[in-house]
Amino acid sequence: MRNVTYSMGVSLDGYIVGPDGAFDWTEPDEQVFRFVTDRMRDVGVHLLGRRLYETMLYWETADQDPSLDQPMLEWAAIWKALPKVVFSTTLSAVQGNARLASGSLAEEIGRLRTEPAKGDIAIGGATLAAEAAGLGLIDEYRARVYPVLVGGGLPYFPRSERRVDLELVETRTFASRVVYLRYRMARMPARLPGAASA
């Protein structure tokens, strides 16, 4: 079954966007950009909310921008070809290799998980990811942690009162001091019937 992953840049204090709406501090250097591009090759479909979809629209025609270098053109080609599902109550149509979600987030993910397609189901955007996390649908969190404190804004992790145990499965530190952390949902061992709780 396909994994659902949530991957974004995040400040050390846990935000993807600062209190002023800025996220210029997440602009990747060449090494981080190459890493993100390579990871995007493992994605089979990308789920987006309206705001992220509109932010990423540039990449649908970025190959026509004469100022882009080869790594950017490579990213643009991957993004343009990637199937996307957009969740919006205000959009009536979407562009490129995208479609509007026809069901709820849980229904769409359930359908995509059972399709015989390859690649991860990636979620972009904190609001959509928070909904998926609240439903227990995220299998992996993949955070690129930037060495900056922004003091508030839009949190990377959903604010919930429920504990979620994670297992660190991969880490990498880049020359720019960005740290990549890949966590998988910890699967709790089955408790034996009649076992006393610790």
Question: Length of the chain in residues, anyone?
Answer: 198
Claim: this prediction has a pTM higher than 0.95 = no
Helix residue ranges, H only, the chain: 30-40, 50-56, 70-81, 105-114, 126-134
Find the mean pLDDT for residues 134-158: 93
pLDDT at 187 over 80: no
> At residue 84, does pLDDT exceed 80?
yes
Q: Report pLDDT digits (tens) over 13-31.
A: 999 989 998 888 998 899 9
Domains of the chain and any CATH numbers: 4-185 (3.40.430.10)
